[in-house]
A = this chain, B = another copy of it.
Amino acid sequence: MAKKLPQTNLEQKLRAFEQACRKVGLKLTHQRLEIFRELAVACDHPSAETLYKRLQKRMPTLSLDTVYRTLATFEKHHLITKVETVESQARFEADMDLHHHAICRQCGAITDFNWNSFDAVQLPKEISGWGRIDKKNITLHGICGKCANGGRAK
């Protein structure tokens, strides 16, 4: 899930992205393509600022406000997701398949994981009358293995 994307998956994802943009009338600018690609290959749920820094190397004239504007546009059209965290900076991901997150309270790393049997289970009746529920996400909080080992790889 949080592993690196095989090249073929990436190309597939990019083509799907381009099609989705055309469908909703979003122009396929160089900036948009590169911002999406950078987020699609990232597996660390980067912030706008982090993406900006990574892209600056290849695109020196890119501006931070374009990154913000572009991410907001993508999110509005459900092409990417804003990850819920307790941090001051918003973080994003391009993986739109249903999955869940584990967050390290020390280093802030976010790891994806799947839990199909949970996804399939019915909500308790206490909340089932709340309204229309679109998504059902789990967030785990704790200390990742790396941090537990004093920063050394596990």
Contact = CB atoms under 8 A, between A and B. Distances in A.
A104 B124 contact: no
A1 to B, nearest CB: 8
Interface in A38-55: none
Task: Point out which of A84, A85, A90, A111 has the most chain B C-beta atoms below 10 A from its C-beta.
Answer: A84
B133 A137 contact: no
Q: How many copies does the complex hold?
A: 2
Interface in A43-91: 82-86, 88, 90
B139 A139 contact: yes
Contacts of A111: 127, 130
Contact of A86 (B84, B123, B132): B84
Contact of A132 (B100, B132, B135, B142): B142
A95 B116 CA distance: 30
Interface string A121-154: 1011011011111111111111111111000000
Contacts of A105: 134
A138 B135 contact: no
Nearest to A105: B134
B123 A114 contact: no
Contacts of A121: 118
Interface of A: 1, 82-86, 88, 90, 100, 102, 104-105, 111, 113-115, 117-118, 121, 123-124, 126-127, 129-148
